[in-house]
Amino acid sequence: MSTPQAKRRGVEVPVSVKKKICQRKIDHPNASLQDIRQFIIDETSLTIGKSTIGDILKNKDKWLDVPTDSGDQTRAKHPKHQSLDDALYLWFTDMSARHAAINDDMLLTKAKQLGEQLNITDFNYSRGYLHRFKTRRGIKRKLYEGEADSADMNAVQTGRGDLQRVLKDYEPDDIFNLDETGLFYRLGPNYTLATQKVSGTKKSKNRITVALAANATGTTKLKPFVITKVNRPRCFGKTYNPET
């Protein structure tokens, strides 16, 4: 006689998440249940089965008409340890005021540290707890706002034509290309957790720049060299001499 399988424990889905699922389907009609499931995991860290998502979508008109805050805070309003909840949010707001980038792992790690300081031993620092904490406090993933430079494609096409005219009298072995690759070792992430829109801060320009050069046929490759702040090329830690 086969042993019956244990019934899978259901996941409590807040109204805000149900509305998000329905709105996602409206915005992306061709999205599959798996696509929507992955979107919800990325957005809320809440793992929901595809069958649950299908049931929610069958009643999407109902969920879209319900106010977001009407039934979203049943358990979220009353955390098990209010002192931990308040301490974690105080740390979060302090880090946000310092323009620090914050993610889920950082929040969970800090929650455990605060729990130890508060002598809390009967608590599970799970992703479900993290989701409820962010829901209570209105914390969401936000991109830093800022403008990105766009390339002038007309100038690119003109430059290519000029370059071809200049190089037409040279042999491929005599045509060299030099390019730089930079490591911005103090550059922070481009997103954070926040309760409202966040503006981007001035990004650090500190970097290590390595220049690589080779001819068009690949038969000659120059030694890589580093461009320092004072613009003195150095090759493998020594001053670069183009004649060697």
Over 60: is that where the pLDDT of 211 sits? yes
**Predicted TM-score (pTM) of this structure:** 0.38
Arithmetic mean of pLDDT over the chain: 76
pLDDT of residue 124: 85
Nearby residues of 115 by Cβ (< 8 Å), 6 or more positions away: 81, 84, 123, 125
Query: Does the domain made of 82-138 have the CATH classification 1.10.10.60?
Result: yes
Tell me the average pLDDT across 201-225. 78
CA distances from 212 to 35, 84, 178, 183 (A): 42, 53, 6, 14
pLDDT of residue 240: 46
pLDDT of residue 143: 66
Grouping H, G, I as helix, E, B as strand and the rest as coil, residue 157 is helix
Burial per residue of 4-35, b for 16 or more beta-carbon CB atoms within 10 angstroms, e otherwise: eeeeeeeeebbbbbbbbbbebbeeeeeeebee
Domain boundaries, given as residue ranges, for the chain: 15-65, 82-138, 170-239
* Residue 74's pLDDT band (cuts 50, 70, 90): very low
Over 50: is that where the pLDDT of 237 sits? no
Over 50: is that where the pLDDT of 148 sits? no
Helix (H) or strand (E) holding 132: helix 127-137
* Residue 228's pLDDT band (cuts 50, 70, 90): low
pLDDT of residue 194: 64
Over 80: is that where the pLDDT of 187 sits? no
**Tally of CB atoms within 10 A around 84:** 21
Lowest mean pLDDT among 57-66, 74-83, 152-161, 225-234: 225-234
What is the phi/psi pair of residue 101, to 5°? -80, 130
Which amino acid is residue 88, in one-letter code? Answer: L
* Residue 1's pLDDT band (cuts 50, 70, 90): very low
Over 70: is that where the pLDDT of 231 sits? no
* Residue 94's pLDDT band (cuts 50, 70, 90): confident
pLDDT of residue 111: 92
Helix (H) or strand (E) holding 210: strand 208-215
Tell me the average pLDDT across 82-92. 89
- Of the two residues 4 and 139, the one the predictor is more confident about is 139
Over 80: is that where the pLDDT of 200 sits? no
Nearby residues of 84 by Cβ (< 8 Å), 6 or more positions away: 111, 114, 115, 118, 120, 123
Is 117:91 a contact under the CB 8 Å cutoff? no
Tell me the average pLDDT across 9-34. 83
Residue with tokens 């019956």: 4
